[in-house]
Amino acid sequence: MLFGLLLETNARLSKSLGLELEATCNLPLAWFEVLLQLRKAPDGRLKMNQVADAIVHSTGGTTRLIDRLEEAGFVARHHCPSDRRAIHVAITELGNQKLDEALDVHLDYLEDNMASRLSGDERETLAALLTKLNTPR
């Protein structure tokens, strides 16, 4: 039952956040996740396999996702200086601007759908429990 609740909650929150980002920023949730991971990364870039791991996508799916983000001008591919076989994906200035716009929507969404519904103690407990479950054994 608990696992089902986790899946259902994630699906509902992801779907409604995705709809909000699409309607307000014209940015799919998967694109938002990639841009956010790149913003958090050192130098604003990650290797393709690191992007796939960070957003929990297959490498093939991630490649197609990066193709679309690159076409939109939000990311750029660069050869890795230390490994000629590896490709880095970097967030562009346009990608940073779009992410800033989306983060405003995201923060409003979190306030309306999570923070206002849970007390501070409940949010801390939930964060601790989810972190525990998300940590590899």
* Under 8 Å between Cβ of 60 and 77: no
- Cα gap 90→10, rounded to integer Å: 28
What are the structural domain ranges in the chain?
26-134
Q: Which CATH architecture has domain 26-134?
A: Orthogonal Bundle (1.10)
- Cα gap 61→28, rounded to integer Å: 15
Lookup: tokens for 16: 């409604």
Classify residue 115 by its DSSP letter. I
DSSP SS3 for 17 = helix
pLDDT digits (tens, 9 = 90+) for 81-102: 777 788 899 999 999 999 999 9
pLDDT reported for residue 81: 78
pLDDT digits (tens, 9 = 90+) for 5-64: 999 999 999 999 999 999 999 999 999 999 999 999 988 889 888 888 888 877 778 889
- Across the range 64-71, mean pLDDT stands at 94
Whose structure tokens read 């972190």? 131
DSSP SS3 for 137 = coil
